[in-house]
């Protein structure tokens, strides 16, 4: 048992107003109120300081739709919420629904009264959690606060706010939480910073006698706080006499089961499960105190919550991210503008009834029964072909190994039963850190068969990106080969560990291995032999997988697919390319290798390093074709470059094998007709396709090589001065329709089950237009199909933005790509939305200028980027030459002039570099944002460093 922690004896002091001049703090918000303390004899009262925008709303003449009750944690004060007060007041002034924001200073904190709350013994805080919950209730009673009320809490203030919430259901209309915790399992250690602060002989000096605890907390901001903001946070705590509450809060952490606040914490934690109100959880994953394990616990207790993790943000989320905009956006969703005149005293208004129907973040899913539209479970063919000795897949490494449908089906069932035996259950997350192989295929299908959710984040993300992905997904189990397990152990990735291989005991202990794949097979075999059955099959609407994006346009995002949606992916491949039973599929792109069994196709991944696509050779492709008598080949553009480059090593037998291929596909990044034609020449009987899609929708459009050539020929007037779509600054979005020169990469028409629309760009480069099929209008590409993702994992804001403008009841996805539809209904991709250049003369998309520059002699590749503020950006070209340049430099005048003529509009600078930076996963997508930052530095007189 942990004994009481010694603290200095505090002295009472009245509540006071903050000093003027604190950064971001409007003095008009501050007020003091005397509040009687309930449950005490003698009429004890305490002075409270709080921030309240109510008077400003009165001055505006608006009636609030409700109140946001904000509760800070330790060692902050109501200053924490200044951004929300400002944003809510500004929004009300602009005509949005008005919210009264009341941000309190808890007693002994901020500028509220010092209550002499440290017991006379100096050994324990006398304002434990239960007392603080009552304190907040006393305050709201004194304020005569009426519903609807939305609570908002952070740190220990999150627990206090939830205590108030569960005790005031008649007023409660919603809950918002930033990094906090409501439960601490007895077997889990508390976070290291708090353990240190609670250390014997440390508590008083660290929290009260010195400002060390406060300084440490302020240092957790990303980026660091300015001196002015730090001054604001320090203002109430300048002396040790003012810091007693900081120590009291730390002392009140219920580490031991016998701690006086343990019962109240457990009461709140259990009562939270019954909160049937809209809930928003905003989280900073870099928090060393409230890590994602506490978010997991909150989601388990409130599965209907909307969740958004701000990648890169930490404990001081209010300083690291625009939490206020997110909060007001969420409030706008649950209280539409037309309800702004609603009775503020009626918690039964729209805010009370707007409870999400499904688990966090999920807005819709495939509710269709199996068999509708030709869909069936991913493991369908494993059951149907379970007695077949025909080839299901071939492993090419370390030597070709053939796996029959009979063996694959048996292994999947055995692994599934073994996973169940060790505790893997429906809904558990299983991170797969296994290279493409028969092992990976068997493990994946075993997981989805029992309803476990597979988490797939490939090593191409790099170690840092992979770490962010795995930690963000919070897997319950990790199944991996040695490289993945070593990274997981070294970097502290969550999840119980299962290895695909058996290691000596010392190595197994080092890696934290609890089970091996062989052990699972033996356990599963025994259970099945004993007559045990696998659990019921998951439903089409159940979550099946979390697949991570490439990270080429920011941190990789987890994309959630249901079983029905993954089944629809395989259905789309069948309808578009005829990949099905009897097809031999060579997949140099891992997702399609894993879908082989779902299609009933025999599949193989060529001998290559999947994290480095350029390692694939032409002879390796030919060997894979021979191994399964392939008729379909799917390769990434990065792999394709090396396949063409190594074609000289092909033998006559290799050429003969490749001549049997009937369909050749390459997708994942833009691919030129020249490269596609060179690859197609190696497979002369094959129709060459380049599908368009993304992790959120793996097959959206398709075009053949012949279609690309026909599209190019159909452009009557080659693009010249208008440069890859330029929209005049003074024109509305539709003005683009008369100016679009059809620049970009043609990716063809929508696939059989897909709809494609365009949301037109305005002169600022924002996609604001309604979804339209109107031709020659440049805007954001928006897609809909049965196989579009369900939602982003714990990225509510991102998910909401991706569905903006969608028809209610339909699932649409904003791709972030910009382009246009031509009059034949073909889609042309002109770049990424973040790469659009906004000049004083209009909006420019980058792909058209890049294409024209790449037609110049001596130019291998080009990137076209903007430099400077939006609205006055300058256009800059960065190029690779043939042969490659040995150093970075400004282009010679002759080349620079040729580039400007090709582009047809002002180009501020032309740079030559040895190589353009690309994303680490595809090795082919040019990182234009990085180049823009680099060019900005050069033009500002900076050093010539590698871009």
State residue 121's pLDDT score. Answer: 36
Spatial CA neighbour of 331 closest among 495, 493, 160, 91: 91
User: Tokens in use for 294?
Assistant: 């506490």
Listing DSSP states for 722-734 in one string gives: T-S-EE-TTS-GG
Q: What is the pLDDT of residues 818-830, one digit of tens each?
A: 999 999 999 999 9
Q: Start-end ranges of CATH 3.40.50.1820 in the chain?
A: 29-353
- Average pLDDT of 585-599? 82
User: Are 820 and 776 spatial neighbours (Cβ–Cβ below 8 Å)?
Assistant: yes
Q: Give CA separation, 650 vs 617, 620, 882, in Å.
A: 10, 10, 26
Distance CA 761, CA 777 (A): 8
pLDDT in tens, 856-865: 999 999 999 9
What pLDDT, on a 0 to 100 scale, did the predictor assign at position 490?
81
Question: Which of 356-365, 643-652, 802-811 holds the top average pLDDT?
Answer: 643-652
Span 733-744, mean pLDDT? 46
**Is the predicted pLDDT of residue 367 greater than 70, yes or no?**
no
Q: Which of 630-639, 646-655, 680-689, 861-870 has the lowest mean pLDDT?
A: 630-639
Taking alpha carbons only, the member of 446, 456, 507 closest to residue 482 is 507
Q: Per CATH, which fold does 710-786+799-834 belong to?
A: Luciferase; domain 3 (2.30.38)
* Contact predicate 367/584, CB 8 Å: no
From residue 17, how far is each of 27, 33, 52, 68, 185 by CA, in Å? 9, 11, 13, 21, 40
**Stretch(es) of the chain classified as CATH 3.30.300.30:** 846-939
Confidence bin at 350 (pLDDT 50/70/90): very low
pLDDT tier at 946 (50, 70, 90 boundaries)? confident
CB atoms within 10 A of CB 680: 21
pLDDT tens-digit profile of 877-930? Answer: 999 999 999 999 999 999 999 999 999 989 999 999 998 887 544 445 788 989
In the chain the first and final C-alpha atoms are separated, in Å, by: 57
Q: How far is CA 590 from CA 24, 543, 635, 763, in A?
A: 50, 20, 10, 40
Give DSSP secondary structure letters for 252-296: T---STTSTTHHHHHHHHHHGGG--S-EEEEE-TT-SSS-HHHHH
Output the pLDDT for position 702.
95
pLDDT tier, 15 (very low <50, low <70, confident <90, very high otherwise)? very high
pLDDT at 459: 65
614 phi/psi in degrees, rounded to 5: -70, 0
Q: What is the DSSP string of 171-228?
A: TEEEEEE-S--S---TTSPPPHHHHHHTSTTTHHIIIIISSHHHHHHHTT-SSPPPHH
Q: 73 and 158 in contact (C-beta within 8 Å)?
A: yes
- Tell me the pairing of strands 632-635 and 584-587: parallel
Report yes or no: 637 and 924 within 8 Å, Cβ to Cβ: yes
Tens-digit pLDDT profile for residues 466-518: 778 788 888 999 999 888 888 888 878 888 999 999 999 999 998 999 999 99
Helix (H) / strand (E) element for 448: namely helix 438-449
Q: Which pLDDT score, from 0 to 100, does residue 356 have?
A: 38
Topology (CATH) of 29-353: Rossmann fold (3.40.50)
CB-based burial of residue 453 (10 Å sphere; 0-12 exposed, 13-18 middle, 19+ buried)? buried
Q: What local confidence, expressed as pLDDT, does residue 926 receive? A: 82
Report pLDDT for 618.
Answer: 95
For residues 246 and 237, what is the distance between their CA atoms, to the nearest angstrom? 9
Residues with Cβ < 8 Å from 395, sequence gap 6 or more? Answer: 401, 403, 437, 438, 604
Phi, psi of 863 (to 5 degrees): -130, 140
Which of 371, 348, 811 has the alpha carbon at shortest distance from 560?
811
- Picking from 13, 47, 78, 7, the residue whose alpha carbon sits closest to that of residue 242 is 13
Sheet with 543-548: list strands edge to edge. Answer: 513-516, 496-499, 477-480, 429-433, 453-456, 543-548, 558-562, 791-792
Q: What angle do CA 457, 461, 467 make, to 5 degrees?
A: 70
Q: Could you say which architecture CATH assigns to the domain 363-565? A: 3-Layer(aba) Sandwich (3.40)
The hierarchical CATH code for the domain 846-939 is: 3.30.300.30
Domain with CATH 3.40.50.12780 in the chain: 363-565
The three-state secondary structure class of 364 is: coil
Which regions of the chain carry the CATH code 2.30.38.10?
710-786+799-834
Q: Is the pLDDT of residue 747 over 70?
A: yes
**Distance, CA of 903 to CA of 724 (rounded, Å):** 9
């Amino acid at each position: 048992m942990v004994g009481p922690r010694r603290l200095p004896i505090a002295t009472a002091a009245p509540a006071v107003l903050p000093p003027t001049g604190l950064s971001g703090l409007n003095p008009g918000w501050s007020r003091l109120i005397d509040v009687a303390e309930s449950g005490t004899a003698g009429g004890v009262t305490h002075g409270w300081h709080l921030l309240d925008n109510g008077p400003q709303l009165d001055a505006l003449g608006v009636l609030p739709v409700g109140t946001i009750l904000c509760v800070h944690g330790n060692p902050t004060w109501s200053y924490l919420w200044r951004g929300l007060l400002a944003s809510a007041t500004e929004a009300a002034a602009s005509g949005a629904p008005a919210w009264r924001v009341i941000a309190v200073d808890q007693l002994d904190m901020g500028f509220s009264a010092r209550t002499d709350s440290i017991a006379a013994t100096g050994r324990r805080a006398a304002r434990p959690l239960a007392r603080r919950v009552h304190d907040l209730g006393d305050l709201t009673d004194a304020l005569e606060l009426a519903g609807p009320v939305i609570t908002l809490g952070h740190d220990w203030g999150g627990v206090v706010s939830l205590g108030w919430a569960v005790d005031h259901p008649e007023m409660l209309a919603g809950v918002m939480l930033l990094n906090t915790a409501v439960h601490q399992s007895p077997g889990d250690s508390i976070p290291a910073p708090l353990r240190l602060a609670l250390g014997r002989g440390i508590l008083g000096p660290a929290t009260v006698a010195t400002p060390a605890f406060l300084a440490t907390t302020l240092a957790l901001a990303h980026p660091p706080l300015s001196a002015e903001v730090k001054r604001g946070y320090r203002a109430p705590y300048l002396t040790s006499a003012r810091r007693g509450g900081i120590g009291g809060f730390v002392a009140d952490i219920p580490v031991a089961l016998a701690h006086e606040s343990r019962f109240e914490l457990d009461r709140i934690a259990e009562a939270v499960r019954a909160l049937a109100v809209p809930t928003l959880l905003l989280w900073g994953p870099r928090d060393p105190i409230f890590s994602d394990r506490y978010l997991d616990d909150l989601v388990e207790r409130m599965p209907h919550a909307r969740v958004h993790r701000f990648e890169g943000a930490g404990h001081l989320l209010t300083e690291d991210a625009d939490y206020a905009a997110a909060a007001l956006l969420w409030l706008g969703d649950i209280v539409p503008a037309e309800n702004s005149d609603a009775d503020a005293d009626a918690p039964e208004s729209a805010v009370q009834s707007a409870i999400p129907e499904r688990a966090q973040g999920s807005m819709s899913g495939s509710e269709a029964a199996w068999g509708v539209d030709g869909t069936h479970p991913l493991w369908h063919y494993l059951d149907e072909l379970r007695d077949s000795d025909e080839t299901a897949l071939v492993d090419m490494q370390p030597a070709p190994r053939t796996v029959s449908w009979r063996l694959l089906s048996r292994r999947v069932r055995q692994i599934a039963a073994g996973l169940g035996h060790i505790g893997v259950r429906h809904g558990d997350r299983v991170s797969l850190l296994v290279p493409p192989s028969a092992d990976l295929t068997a493990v994946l299908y075993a997981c989805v068969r029992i309803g476990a959710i597979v988490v797939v984040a490939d090593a191409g993300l790099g170690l840092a990106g992979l770490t962010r992905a795995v930690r963000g997904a919070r897997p319950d189990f990790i199944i991996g080969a040695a490289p993945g397990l070593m990274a997981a152990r070294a970097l502290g990735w969550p999840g119980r560990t299962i290895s695909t291989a058996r290691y000596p005991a010392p190595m197994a202990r080092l890696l934290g291995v609890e089970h091996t794949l062989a052990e699972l097979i033996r356990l599963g075999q025994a259970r099945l032999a004993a007559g045990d059955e696998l659990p019921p099959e998951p439903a089409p609407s159940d979550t099946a997988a979390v697949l991570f994006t490439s990270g080429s346009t920011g941190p990789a995002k987890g994309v959630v697919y249901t079983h029905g949606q993954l089944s629809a992916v395989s259905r789309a491949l069948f309808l578009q390319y005829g990949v099905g039973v009897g097809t031999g599929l060579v997949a140099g792109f891992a997702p399609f290798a894993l879908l082989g069994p779902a299609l009933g196709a025999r599949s193989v991944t060529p001998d290559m390093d999947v994290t480095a696509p350029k390692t694939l050779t032409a002879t390796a492709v030919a060997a894979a074709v021979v191994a399964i008598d392939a008729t379909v080949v799917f390769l990434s553009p990065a792999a394709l470059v090396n396949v063409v480059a190594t074609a000289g090593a092909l033998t006559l037998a290799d050429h003969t094998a490749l001549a049997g291929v009937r369909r050749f596909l390459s997708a994942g990044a833009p691919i030129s007709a020249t490269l596609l034609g060179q690859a197609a020449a190696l497979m002369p009987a094959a129709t060459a396709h380049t599908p368009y899609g993304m992790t959120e929708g793996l097959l959206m459009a398709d075009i053949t090589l012949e279609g690309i050539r026909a599209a190019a020929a159909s452009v009557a007037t080659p693009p010249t001065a208008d440069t890859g779509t330029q929209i005049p600054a003074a024109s509305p979005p539709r003005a683009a329709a008369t100016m679009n020169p059809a620049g970009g990469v043609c990716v063809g028409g929508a696939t059989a089950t897909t709809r494609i629309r365009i949301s037109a760009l305005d002169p600022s480069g924002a996609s604001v237009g309604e979804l339209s099929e109107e031709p020659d209008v440049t805007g954001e590409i928006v897609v809909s199909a049965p196989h579009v993702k369900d939602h982003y994992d714990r990225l509510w804001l991102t998910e909401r933005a991706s569905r903006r403008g969608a028809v209610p009841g339909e699932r649409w996805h904003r791709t972030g790509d910009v382009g246009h539809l031509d009059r034949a209904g073909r889609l042309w991709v002109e770049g990424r939305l973040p790469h659009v250049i906004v000049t004083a003369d209009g909006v420019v998309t980058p792909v058209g200028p890049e294409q024209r520059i790449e037609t110049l002699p001596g130019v291998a590749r080009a990137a076209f980027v903007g430099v400077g503020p939006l609205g006055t950006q300058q256009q800059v070209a960065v190029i690779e030459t043939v042969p490659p340049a040995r150093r970075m430099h400004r282009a010679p005048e002759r080349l620079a002039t040729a580039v400007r003529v090709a582009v047809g509009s002002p180009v501020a600078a032309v740079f030559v570099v040895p190589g353009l930076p690309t994303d680490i996963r595809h090795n082919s997508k040019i990182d234009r944002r990085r180049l823009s930052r680099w060019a900005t530095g050069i033009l500002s007189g900076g050093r010539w460093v590698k871009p």
